[in-house]
Amino acid sequence: MIESAESTRDVVRQLKAILAKDLGLSLKEEEIADDVPLLEGGLALDSVVIAELIARIEDQFGIRFEDQNLRLELFDNLITLAEFVSSNQAARKTA
C-alpha cells in the first residue's frame, strides 16, 4: 500500500506539471492544490482542456481512457485522477 500511495503522489506531481507547463494554466505547479476540483468550482477546465489533459496522460503514462471509464468523478480533483492513473498502470504491469 505504501508503494501505491507513493506512486499516486508522484502521479499528482506529474499531473500538476502537465497542467502548469503543457496546458498553459496561469498557475505554477506549487499553486495547484492536490484536492482542487478540476471542473466547476476549482480550476474550471473546459472540455477542450480536459480532452488535451486526457491525451497527455495517455501519452505520458501509457494508459488508455476507455469510454466506459470516462466519468466526471474522475476529474473531481488531482488525487482522484492520479489514483485512476496509478491503478491503470498497475493493471498493465500485471497483465
Q: What is the mean pLDDT of residues 6-23?
A: 93
Domain ranges for the chain: 39-95
Place 3 in a pLDDT band, splitting at 50, 70 and 90. Answer: very low
Asked if the model's pLDDT at residue 4 lies above 70, the reply is no
Position 41 pLDDT exceeds 50: yes
Highest-confidence segment of 38-42, 56-60, 86-90: 56-60
Q: What is the pLDDT of residues 45-84, one digit of tens each?
A: 999 999 999 999 999 999 999 988 889 999 999 999 999 9
Inter-residue contact 81 to 43 (CB < 8 Å): no
Long-range Cβ pairs for the range 7-10 (8 Å, 24+): 7/86, 7/89, 7/90, 8/79, 8/82, 8/83, 8/86, 9/82
pTM: 0.88
